[in-house]
């Protein structure tokens, strides 16, 4: 099936605060996101990097991963950074990296699970990006996280209990994102199509032009 026609160039407009629930696990404000960078937010294991790469390819945009950029800038892995410098220092560096990336030409940006919790980072994303929350339930998050042993926050206790606590703390904040898309246990391509649909439907009528390519 060919990809949905998508917006390659969208005009700027004011954001709307409401995000009415739509069908198929998507909620979005009726907003034109202009040439803003698409910023994926959500808990670890939500699929931000995997979905982000596929979304960038579908939209013919560059892909950036904030965690990878942090590792490159610091010359160490995220777990090592946490261990040596602590979470507060990491969040400070993360904020600076995301600010720099948001000043680059439009791209798809995957952020770490805690990035959107920082008020200043949220403000930067609100000013210059389009935040998309990949929402997933506990079973999906837990299953994905257990496949990798590089989650610093999960090494301090029972991983499932920690994930539940993080969901309770973070999901109300993630809900401030411009678009909410459910990320289930199915193929990532399904999530990509949901995002493209939400972005397309948010554009003013008559502003859809160019095809992002067929898949």
CATH superfamily membership of 26-202: P-loop containing nucleotide triphosphate hydrolases (3.40.50.300)
Q: What is the pLDDT of residue 117?
A: 96
Contacts by residues 138-142 (CB-CB < 8 Å, ≥ 24 positions apart): 138/163, 138/164, 138/167, 140/45, 140/183, 140/184, 140/185, 141/43, 141/44, 141/45, 141/46, 141/167, 142/45
**SS3 (DSSP) at 134:** strand
215 residues of the chain, pLDDT tens digit each: 344 333 332 323 333 334 534 345 665 554 556 689 999 999 998 999 999 999 999 999 999 999 999 999 999 998 889 889 988 899 999 999 999 999 999 999 999 999 999 999 999 999 999 999 999 999 999 888 888 766 767 777 788 999 999 999 999 999 999 999 999 888 899 999 999 998 887 644 333 223 233 33
Considering the entire predicted model, what is its pTM? 0.79
Q: What is the pLDDT of residue 33?
A: 64
pLDDT of residue 83: 85
Q: Where are the domains of the chain?
A: 26-202
């Amino acid at each position: 099936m060919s990809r949905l026609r998508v917006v390659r160039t969208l005009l700027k407009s004011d954001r709307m605060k409401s995000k009415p629930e739509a069908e198929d696990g998507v909620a979005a404000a009726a907003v034109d996101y202009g040439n803003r960078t698409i910023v994926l937010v959500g808990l670890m294991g939500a699929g931000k990097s995997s979905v982000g790469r596929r979304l960038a390819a579908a939209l013919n945009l560059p892909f950036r991963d904030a965690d990878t950029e942090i590792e490159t800038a610091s010359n160490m892995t995220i777990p090592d950074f946490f261990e040596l410098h602590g979470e507060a220092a990491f969040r400070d560096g993360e904020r600076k990296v995301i600010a720099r990336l948001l000043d680059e030409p439009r791209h798809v940006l995957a952020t770490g699970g805690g990035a959107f919790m920082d008020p200043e980072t949220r403000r930067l994303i609100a000013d210059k990006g389009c935040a998309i929350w990949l929402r997933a339930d506990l079973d999906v998050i837990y299953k994905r996280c257990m496949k990798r042993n590089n989650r610093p926050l999960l090494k301090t206790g029972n991983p499932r209990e920690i994930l539940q606590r993080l969901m309770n703390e973070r999901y109300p904040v993630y809900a401030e994102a411009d678009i909410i898309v459910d990320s289930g246990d199915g193929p990532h391509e399904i999530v990509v199509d949901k995002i493209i649909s939400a972005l397309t439907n948010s554009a003013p009528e008559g502003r859809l032009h160019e095809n992002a390519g067929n898949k």
